[in-house]
């Protein structure tokens, strides 16, 4: 196959990998804080954190444009600092994928943390374990299966992101064109043969991701 065929697939894998790295860190931290927290408004906060899971991708893309666009404070700061807007760049695709994939990581990690017997953690505290040591030697290992499962599902979600990426990062071949946007453009141009090839590759990767997640259950 021509090298250009693999470019969108490679870009999708790279974007998904970076996105999963970010959501894994943020998801674990926030899930740990929220798993046992009790405060007024917790339900509203958790609803906000998982909102991208149910929002239409175009809404997510629109909000990202508002937040990071050149007319926003964040967008202006980025343009002044880096002499370039973040829209229609590789990093825009990463941000879009990160936003839509985060809820899956957060929910999985929180489920894993909540499933741990609090008596085990309390016993470790009695024995003198600090919170840092407790987290890395007891809490994290006991919830690792849920965390890995969340990472796999987040990777699959980031890999298949289309709507928000198309709006926020655009469809620049070799730069921001991921496999989903490449499939869309191939269909629009009537090139069904290459569209089918991309679809088969994406189905294969997604199948392996879901298979891995199922094995871990």
Q: Give the pLDDT of the chain (217 residues) as one tens digit per residue.
A: 444 889 999 999 999 999 999 999 999 999 999 988 888 888 999 999 999 999 999 999 999 999 998 888 998 898 888 888 899 999 999 999 999 999 999 999 999 998 888 888 788 887 777 778 888 888 899 999 999 999 999 999 999 999 999 999 999 988 999 999 999 999 999 999 999 999 999 999 989 988 887 887 6
Judge residue 109's burial from the number of C-beta atoms within 10 Å of its C-beta, 0-12 exposed, 13-18 middle, 19 or more buried. Answer: buried
pTM exceeds 0.95, yes or no: no
Please, which residues have CB within 8 angstroms of residue 87's CB and are 6 or more apart in sequence?
65, 68, 69, 70, 75, 168, 169, 170
Q: Crossing angle, helix 144-159 and helix 3-35, to 10 degrees?
A: 140
**What is the CATH number that goes with domain 3-216?**
1.10.3720.10
Give the count of beta carbons closer than 10 Å to the beta carbon of residue 179: 25
């Amino acid at each position: 196959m021509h090298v250009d065929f693999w470019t969108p697939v490679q870009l999708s894998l790279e974007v998904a990998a970076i996105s999963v790295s970010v959501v894994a860190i943020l998801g674990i931290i926030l899930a740990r804080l929220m798993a046992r927290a009790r405060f007024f408004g917790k339900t509203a906060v958790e609803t906000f954190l998982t909102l991208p899971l149910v929002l239409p991708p175009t809404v997510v893309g629109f909000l990202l444009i508002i937040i990071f666009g050149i007319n926003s404070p964040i967008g202006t700061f980025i343009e002044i600092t880096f002499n370039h807007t973040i829209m229609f760049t590789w990093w825009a695709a990463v941000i879009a994928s990160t936003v839509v994939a985060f809820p899956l990581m957060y929910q999985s990690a929180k489920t894993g943390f909540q499933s741990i017997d609090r008596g085990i953690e309390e016993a470790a505290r009695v024995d003198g374990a600090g919170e840092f040591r407790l987290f890395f030697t007891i809490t994290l290992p006991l919830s690792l299966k849920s965390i890995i499962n969340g990472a796999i599902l987040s990777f699959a979600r980031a890999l298949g992101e289309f709507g928000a990426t198309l709006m926020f990062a655009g469809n620049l071949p070799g730069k921001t064109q991921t496999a989903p946007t490449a499939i869309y453009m191939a269909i629009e141009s009537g090139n069904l043969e290459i569209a089918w090839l991309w679809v088969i590759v994406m189905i294969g990767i997604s199948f392996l991701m879901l298979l891995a997640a199922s094995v871990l259950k």
